[in-house]
Structure 1
Amino acid sequence: MRMLVRLVLGLFVLKAVVAGPRFSRQVDLDSYDSANYDVDLDNLNSENQDIYDYEDGLTIDDPQIEIGTLAPPDYTYVASVEEEEEEEEEELPLTPQLVPQGSGGSGVLMGPNTQKGMPTCLLCTCLGGSVYCDDLKLDHVPPLPKDTTHFYARYNRITKINKGDFAHMNKLKRIDLTANEITSVDEKAFIGLPVLEELVIRENHISQLPALPETMSLIDASHNNLGSKGLHREAFKDMTSLLYLYLTDNHIDYVPVPLPDSLRSLHLQRNNIQMMHEDTFCNLKDFNYIRNALEDIRLDGNPINLSRTPQAYVCLPRIPIGDLV
């Protein structure tokens, strides 16, 4: 009985399997339209063969390629040797460089130190060889860099020019001390300057003009108190390059002769000049002598009658400006 039941169940299962869907189907290539599906079987077979050859070439010893997410690269920045050297150079502290020593200073980056401990070129303005110290309430000449060529200290409170104020200033060409309170100037304050050409000390209280080098081309000492004894005898005789001499408002009572032939302009306005000699400008021994350079003579404001000495102007290109009556 049991055997019969097992036989029936086996037949039932076999029938069910035969009646079910098939797991594989045969493709009839001939059923496809070759006109619509042009398949190159030779190339297909060759490509398949290449794939098979590549797969067959792999062995267990060859590294296998894993497909997955790659780890992000390490972008940690490593500075190059050159960049590190540049950073080290940038971090080096700046070392102040010395400049040539000035007149009375030790010489630092901003020029020699003043008496208040401040460098001159920090207190004043230094542009090239020019030093500008205008209107700073200075009471003395500050120490200057040795290479100074032009020095301006106008509208200050300087009262005295000492011998060492411009010592060893071998390149100094111009000094302008207009409108200070200078009452005295050391006799040798300027004589040691080998290339000094221009000195402007107008609007001070100077009673004695010191000796000046023969290299002078411009002297302006107007508006001081020179008087009859404030100039050295023949003070300007050897200044063969002197072009401009301005001594206005000084209580001077004479023309400071002899004057060099190079002189172009002489200003003596508002002094106390009362008389003039006929050889003041001309040479009475040489009537052919002509003083062509001296075209500007100002004597207005003086108690002198220019018409009384007509022979004094015969060698001049122009008659001096002043009273003729």
Structure 2
Amino acid sequence: MRMFARLILGLLVLKAAAASPRFSRQADLDTYDGNYDEDLDNIDVENENMYDYEDGLTIDEPQIEVETLDPPDYSYPEPEGSQEVKLEEEEEEELPRFIQPVPQGSGGSGVLMGPDTQKGMPTCLLCTCLGGSVYCDDLRLDSVPPLPKDTTHFYARYNRITKINKSDFASMNKLKRIDLTANEITVVEDRAFMGLPELEELVIRENHIPQLPSLPETMTLIDASQNNIASKGIHKEAFKDMTGLLYLYLTDNNIDYIPVPLPDSLRSLHLQRNNIQTMHQDTFCNLNDFNYIRNALEDIRLDGNPINLSRTPQAYICLPRIPVGDLI
């Protein structure tokens, strides 16, 4: 029954479509066998009328112009305070830049690269300055160059320096180490190093120094090996008040006795190849206190001296190790 109803409804739809104008025109076109060119104008007119009726448009209606839009503005508002930062940066760029000079040294009115030397150039241009260290090795110097006041370590090895003056290290309050190895030094003014409150290490080995200069009590290392120092060239009780002295090297000199008293802090004493012939019983130990032990002094070198260590056994009974040297 439903199928029959659908067939009746379909026939009615087809009949209505056949009666419509478009369907009739399409049927006319399908059956048309006339001249196309002769009726072209009539067809255009009909089409124009059709479009006017269906779409509501006319040929005289103005066309819509398409314009190019400007790109969107992505300039977002700046956060608060950014303009002030920019102004400060611009002011900083406009300020003149000044070069901070290096503090002047002990011997001149230095500016950027330290004080001028006798060679006509600043110390830090002639030598190498790294932080507080100044390296003037192997430059054929015949005197100590003026140093920047902030120098902490000074190296002038393998040069031709012949004399150390009091003024060479004047007002060098931060200087901790001086190394003048392998020069031609014959004279050291006695108080040349006494004005150095921070001095801890002095190396003046391989020179021609006849007398050990006075040194501050802050010393921890003294190396005056391979010089011409005799016993009379060492001040009496020169090392007594150096309570932090750890290393004393006086190898290859002309010393004929051990320079006592030595501080309890001493760890190494090198006196090999000198002229030491005798040793006292109290050189290292305390005869009044047989329980006294010098624990720190573990390295004593007396080899190459004309001394027989077996003759004075009580002299080192308080030591942790027997000195190195001849026992016969």
Q: TM-score range by the shorter chain?
A: 0.7 to 0.9
The match for 1:136 is: 139
Instruction: Provide the secondary structure at the position in 2 that maps to 1:164.
Output: helix
- How far residue 295 of structure 1 moved from its aligned partner, in angstroms, is 0.0
Partner in structure 1 of residue 257 of structure 2: 254
In structure 1, the partner of 2:158 is: 155
Following superposition of structure 1 onto structure 2, how do residues 77-226 of structure 1 map, counting pairs within 5 Å? 96-226=99-229
Distance 2:266 2:164 in 1: 27
Measure how far apart 1:96 and its partner are: 4.3
Aligned to 1:267: 270
- Counterpart of 1:8 in structure 2 is none
Q: Aligned AA for 2:317?
A: V
> What secondary structure, in the 3-state scheme, does the structure 1 residue paired with 2:202 have?
strand
Q: Residues 96 and 30 (structure 1 numbering): CA distance in 2 closer, same or farther, change over 3 Å?
A: closer
Which structure features the higher share of helix residues? 2
Is the 2:52–2:58 contact (alpha carbons within 8 Å) kept by the matching residues of 1? no
Q: Deviations over 1:8-42 (max 9, x none)?
A: xxxxxxxxxxxxx99x944446589xxxxx96964
Q: Is the 8 A contact 1:191 1:213 kept in 2?
A: yes
Residues 116 and 47 (structure 1), Cα distance of their counterparts in 2 relative to 1, 3 Å cut: farther
State the Cα deviation string for residues 254-301 of structure 1 (Å, max 9, x = none).
000000000000000000000000100000000010000000000000
Tell me by how many angstroms 1:137 deviates.
0.1
CA distance in 2, matches of 1:47, 1:126: 93
C-alpha contact 2:178 2:203 (8 A) present in aligned 1 = yes
TM, length-normalised to structure 1:
0.76
Deviations 1:29-72 (A, max 9, x none): 6589xxxxx969644618964x27x79xxxxxxxxx9xxxxxxx
Match of 2:57 in 1: 45
Partner letter of residue 160 of structure 1? K
Aligned residue identity for 2:131: G
What displacement does 1:99 show?
A: 1.6
Amino acid of the structure 2 residue aligned with 1:194? P
Give the corresponding residue for 1:237: 240
- Within 2, Cα distance between the matches of 1:41 and 1:304? 139
Counterparts of 1:160 and 1:286, CA distance in 2: 45
CA distance in 2, matches of 1:99, 1:28: 99
TM-superposition CA deviations, 1:179-199 (whole Å, max 9, x none)? 000001011110000010000
Aligned residue type for 1:166: F
CA distance in 2, matches of 1:95, 1:115: 28
Aligned identity (percent) is 77
Q: In structure 1, how many angstroms separate the alpha carbons of the residues matched to 2:111 and 2:189?
A: 28
- Tell me by how many angstroms 1:153 deviates: 0.1
Q: How many residues align?
A: 268
Query: What does the per-residue CA deviation read over 1:214-254, in whole Å, with 9 as the maximum and x for residues that have no partner?
Result: 00000000000011211000000000000000000111000
Distance in 1 (CA, whole Å) between partners of 2:273 and 2:194 is 29
User: Within 1, Cα distance between the matches of 2:276 and 2:161?
Assistant: 30
**Distance in 1 (alpha carbons) for counterparts of 2:52 and 2:222:** 112
Distance 1:41 1:154, change over 3 A: farther
| Structure 1 counterpart of 2:287 | 284
Structure 2: runs of 5+ lacking an equivalent: 1-36, 68-85
- CA 1:28 to 1:177, structure 2 compared with 1: closer, same or farther past 3 Å? closer
* TM-score between both structures, scaled by the size of structure 2: 0.75
Taking the aligned partners of 2:327 and 2:59, their CA distance within structure 1 comes to: 127
RMSD after superposition: 2.9
Change in 2 beyond 3 A, CA 1:95/1:43: same
8 Å Cα contact 1:96-1:108 kept in structure 2: no
Asked whether the equivalents of residues 153 and 178 of structure 2 are also in contact (C-alpha less than 8 Å), the reply is yes
Return the alpha-carbon distance in structure 2 between the equivalents of residues 47 and 198 of structure 1.
109
Q: Distance in 1 between matches of 2:307 and 2:222?
A: 24
Q: Assess, with a 3 A threshold, how the Cα gap between structure 1 residues 315 and 156 changes in structure 2: closer, same or farther.
A: same
Amino acid across the alignment from 1:324: L
* Post-superposition offset of 1:313: 1.0
